[in-house]
Amino acid sequence: MITTIAIDDEPLALQLVTDYIAKTPGLKLLGKFDNPLEAADFIAKTIVDLIFVDIQMPDISGIEFTRSLEKGPKVIFTTAFEKYAIEGYKLEIVDYLLKPFSYEEFLTALRKAQKMIKLEQRELNKIEANNEFLFLKSDYKIKRINFNDILYIEGLKDYVKVYLHNVGKPVLSISSLKLLESKLPPEKFMRVHRSFIVNLEKIDTIDRSRIVFGKEYIPVSDQYKVRFQEFLDKNFL
């Protein structure tokens, strides 16, 4: 699933792009904006794979907006002016859609973006996990996560949040809890809920079928209680 946003100050043009996104399998629209400054604030807090952005807009142009981005999200320009094409390619954008563009042209540009994103993901997957650490893509960077630093992992719909010891902000990454679980050493980590994996070595307190990490309480669901109880019995004095 590729996450995307659309930016255009023309309502009809913005609606066209979002309609194309909505009917295309494999795309997830996270937001649409008529102001690039609002979009920039959104991107700073959310992982976005692909951006459709108009060039001529008030306050800040699409070119200036793209230039301000950290390397990470792919960009497809949507514009009524062909003269900006060269400038766009200098910024290494994926493609350049000249308004009014058809759904077929939209799909052609999208396929280019998909190939680039899949290639980057394959390169990331070449980095194998081991019994000490793994690498996760987060905030358009690749971060090393030491297993000994992990307290617990929370699974959301399309993301995981990795909570680390002595780090206030969790590491957010596009992945599934099931995939991440397959990369973790089973002797150290256990799934205790459909939404949570815990580091068994970091458990200090258990309160009525809830694992306590500071102010956070992680529930142990019925599906995983037997296995978790076996772990407790094995280590109970």
Q: Would you place residue 85 in the very low, low, confident or very high pLDDT band (cuts 50, 70, 90)? A: low
Residues 155 and 191 in one domain: yes
Single residue among 105, 124, 143 that ends a domain in this structure: 124
Q: Would you place residue 111 in the very low, low, confident or very high pLDDT band (cuts 50, 70, 90)? A: very high
The mean predicted confidence, pLDDT, of the chain is 87
Q: Would you place residue 200 in the very low, low, confident or very high pLDDT band (cuts 50, 70, 90)? A: very high
pLDDT at 40: 86
pLDDT at 86: 61
DSSP per residue, 48-90: -SEEEEESS-SSS-HHHHHHHSPS-SEEEEEES-GGGHHHHHH
pTM above 0.85, yes or no: no
Residues 50 and 88 in one domain: yes
Over residues 35-59, mean pLDDT: 87
Provide the domain limits for residue 21: 2-124
Whether pLDDT at 148 is above 60: yes
Residues 57 and 8 in one domain: yes
Over residues 87-100, mean pLDDT: 79
Q: How far apart are CA 143 and CA 172, in angstroms?
A: 10
Per the structure, the count of domains in the chain is 2
Residues 147 and 88 in one domain: no
Single residue among 124, 151, 171 that ends a domain in this structure: 124
Over residues 44-62, mean pLDDT: 85
Residues 113 and 143 in one domain: no
Q: Would you place residue 52 in the very low, low, confident or very high pLDDT band (cuts 50, 70, 90)? A: very high
SS3 197: strand
Single residue among 104, 124, 144 that ends a domain in this structure: 124
How many residues does this entry show for the chain?
Answer: 237
Helix intervals (H) in 130-214: 177-183
Residues 16 and 120 in one domain: yes
Whether pLDDT at 124 is above 60: yes
Residues 9 and 114 in one domain: yes
Residues 103 and 194 in one domain: no
Token output for 129: 């996990």
Please say whether the beta carbons of 7 and 15 come within 8 A.
no
Domain CATH code at residue 208? 2.40.50.1020
Over residues 77-81, mean pLDDT: 84
Residues 16 and 113 in one domain: yes
Residues 72 and 8 in one domain: yes
Q: How far apart are CA 196 and CA 190, in angstroms?
A: 9
Backbone dihedral angles phi then psi of residue 30, each to the nearest 5 degrees? -90, -25
Whether pLDDT at 128 is above 60: no
Range with lowest mean pLDDT among 55-69, 92-106, 123-137, 193-207: 123-137
Q: Would you place residue 89 in the very low, low, confident or very high pLDDT band (cuts 50, 70, 90)? A: low
Residues 85 and 106 in one domain: yes
Residues 117 and 85 in one domain: yes
